[in-house]
């Protein structure tokens, strides 16, 4: 059997809290094969983003292994990570917050090309234009700034920027949650087309099972930091074993949750906002992660 592109084995992430630590991710394991899509689904606060941030090494996990093509990146330092960063890219929930407001779309997409070593300015501009076209934006988009785009268009720029690094895995953390249902469907369709053409692997993370099921061959269901169910999407959907999966399935069938709103009942009481400080799990800057 060929080795999967990504193997996460026994991942643990503890965040420091006033009287000790809070285990946000507890012994999570899964694999992502080359060119395939793994969905990660679970209620708000169950640890999905913490898993994503560990994989792109925006934070250092407390324990466990993260094997990228066989190399464990879980404990590598920034210098050791640099040559590997391009292999896994992330698309964030809030494209506005993650795009530099002062740069044109073309410059935003060209930036990773510079880091990738594309020396010629014209070469970078041409490649950025190609990627902007690939994500379905008109050439008139090239010189506009993030504020001059709609949410769905901004998300396309975020995807184009991620693709500029020529990643082998794209981690989409609630990448379509802020979008209207129809725009969400367009972005998901774009991801599907890109995968068909490039053999890129995806991790699609959402609290919305309806979004995850559309692209994912396999899914992992998380609850309170743990994997409660995993397997082929069709199997998990037809005969869900975990209570959480059944609740997510019900929510996915309810059209009001398709707008990316989190049903109140799913917001775990007492969860902390992700922007609270992490000590053990050292967060690094998004800029560093992009290198
Ligand atoms: N920096 C932090 N310090 C302390 N606790 C944190 C920190 N970041 C996240 N947490 C807590 O860890 C748990 C997992 O958070 P995480 O953001 O990974 O959840 P999530 O599944 O992505 O949720 P959502 O669907 O709302 O995005 C939550 O209980 C959260 O409050
Ligand atoms: Mg999250």
pLDDT tens figures, 52-99: 999 999 999 999 999 999 999 999 999 999 989 999 999 988 766 789
pLDDT above 60 (res 149)? yes
Minimal CA–CA distance to 168: which of 44, 59, 5, 17? 5
Please state which of the ranges 52-61, 72-81, 178-187, 214-223 shows the lowest mean pLDDT.
178-187
| 207 C-alpha to ligand 1 centroid (Å) | 13
The pLDDT of 186-215, averaged and rounded, is 93
The domain in which residue 249 lies consists of 6-100+169-290
Ligand closest to 226 (CA) is: 1
Going by the DSSP 8-state scheme, the letter that residue 246 receives in this structure is H
CB 124 within 8 A of CB 82: no
Count up the domains in the chain and report the number: 1
* Atom number of ligand 1 nearest to Cα 274: 8
pLDDT above 80 (res 263)? no
Q: Look up tokens 């899964």; give the residue.
A: 30
Going by alpha carbons, the residue nearest to atom 31 of ligand 1 is 272
pLDDT above 50 (res 266)? no
Higher pLDDT, 28 or 155: 28
What distance in Å separates the CA atoms of residue 4 and residue 19, rounded to the nearest whole number? 39
**Integer Rg of the chain from CA:** 18
Mean pLDDT of all residues belonging to the chain? 87
What order do you get walking across the sheet with 6-17 strand by strand?
20-32, 6-17, 63-68, 71-72
pLDDT of residue 90: 93
pLDDT of residue 79: 95
| 224 C-alpha to ligand 1 centroid (Å) | 10
Ligand closest to 43 (CA) is: 1
End-to-end CA distance of the chain: 32
How do residues 109-136 score in pLDDT, each as one tens digit? 999 999 888 999 999 999 999 999 999 9
pLDDT above 90: percentage of residues in the chain: 71
* Atom number of ligand 1 nearest to Cα 272: 31
Which are the contacts of 13, defined by CB distance < 8 A and separation ≥ 6?
23, 24, 25, 47, 50, 51, 54, 59, 61, 62, 281
| 130 C-alpha to ligand 2 centroid (Å) | 31
The pLDDT of 256-271, averaged and rounded, is 43
| 49 C-alpha to ligand 1 centroid (Å) | 7
Q: What Å distances lie between residue 164 and 26, 89, 156, 291, CA to CA?
A: 33, 10, 12, 11
Neighbours of 147 (CB within 10 A): 9
Higher pLDDT, 35 or 254: 35
Is 207 part of any domain?
yes
The pLDDT of 182-199, averaged and rounded, is 91
Which are the contacts of 211, defined by CB distance < 8 A and separation ≥ 6?
176, 177, 184, 188, 204
Q: Report the alpha-carbon angle 40-46-52, nearest 5.
A: 50
Which are the contacts of 119, defined by CB distance < 8 A and separation ≥ 6?
none
The Cα diameter of the chain in Å comes to 55
Ligand closest to 260 (CA) is: 1
How do residues 39-53 score in pLDDT, each as one tens digit? 999 999 999 999 999
Going by alpha carbons, the residue nearest to atom 10 of ligand 1 is 274
| 54 C-alpha to ligand 1 centroid (Å) | 12
pLDDT of residue 291: 37
Is 110 part of any domain?
no
The pLDDT of 230-237, averaged and rounded, is 94
CB 284 within 8 A of CB 78: yes
Supply the CATH number for residue 87's domain: 3.40.50.300
Is 133 part of any domain?
no
pLDDT of residue 4: 95
Q: Report the alpha-carbon angle 153-203-152, nearest 5.
A: 10
Going by the DSSP 8-state scheme, the letter that residue 3 receives in this structure is P
Is 148 part of any domain?
no
Q: Report the alpha-carbon angle 257-196-71, nearest 5.
A: 90
Beta bridge partners of 23: 14
pLDDT of residue 256: 58
Going by the DSSP 8-state scheme, the letter that residue 23 receives in this structure is E
pLDDT of residue 255: 59
Backbone angles phi, psi at 172, to 5 degrees: -105, 100
Which are the contacts of 161, defined by CB distance < 8 A and separation ≥ 6?
99, 108, 109, 111, 112
pLDDT of residue 1: 67
Residues framing ligand 1 (Cβ under 6 A): 15, 17, 22, 24, 42, 44-50, 207, 271-272, 274, 276-278
Which are the contacts of 182, defined by CB distance < 8 A and separation ≥ 6?
none
Backbone angles phi, psi at 54, to 5 degrees: -70, -45
């Amino acid at each position: 059997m060929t080795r999967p592109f990504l193997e996460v084995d026994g991942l643990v992430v503890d965040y420091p809290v006033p009287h000790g630590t809070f285990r946000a991710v507890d012994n999570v394991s899964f694999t992502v094969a080359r060119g395939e899509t793994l969905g990660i689904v679970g209620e708000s606060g169950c640890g999905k983003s913490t898993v994503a941030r560990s994989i792109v090494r925006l934070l250092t996990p407390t324990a466990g292994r993260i094997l990228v093509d066989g190399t464990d990146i879980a404990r590598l330092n920034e210098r050791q990570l640099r040559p590997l960063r391009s292999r896994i890219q992330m698309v964030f929930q809030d494209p506005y917050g993650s795009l530099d407001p002062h740069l044109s779309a073309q410059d935003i997409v060209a930036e990773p090309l510079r880091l990738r070593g594309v020396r010629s300015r014209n070469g970078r501009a041409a490649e950025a234009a190609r990627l902007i076209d690939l994500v379905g934006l008109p050439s008139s988009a090239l010189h506009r700034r993030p504020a001059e785009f709609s949410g769905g268009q901004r998300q396309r720029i975020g995807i184009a920027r991620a693709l500029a690094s020529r990643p082998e895995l794209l981690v989409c953390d609630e990448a379509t949650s802020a979008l209207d249902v129809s725009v969400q469907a367009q972005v998901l369709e774009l991801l599907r087309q890109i995968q068909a053409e490039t053999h890129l692997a995806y991790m699609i993370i959402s609290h919305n099972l309806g979004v995850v099921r559309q692209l994912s061959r396999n899914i992992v269901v998380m609850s309170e930091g743990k994997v409660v169910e995993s397997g082929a999407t069709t199997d998990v959907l037809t005969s869900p074993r975990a209570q959480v999966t059944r609740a997510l399935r019900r929510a996915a069938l309810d059209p009001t949750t398709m707008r990316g709103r989190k049903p109140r009942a799913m917001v775990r009481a007492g969860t902390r906002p992700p922007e609270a400080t992490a000590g053990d799990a050292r967060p690094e800057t998004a800029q560093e992660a992009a290198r």
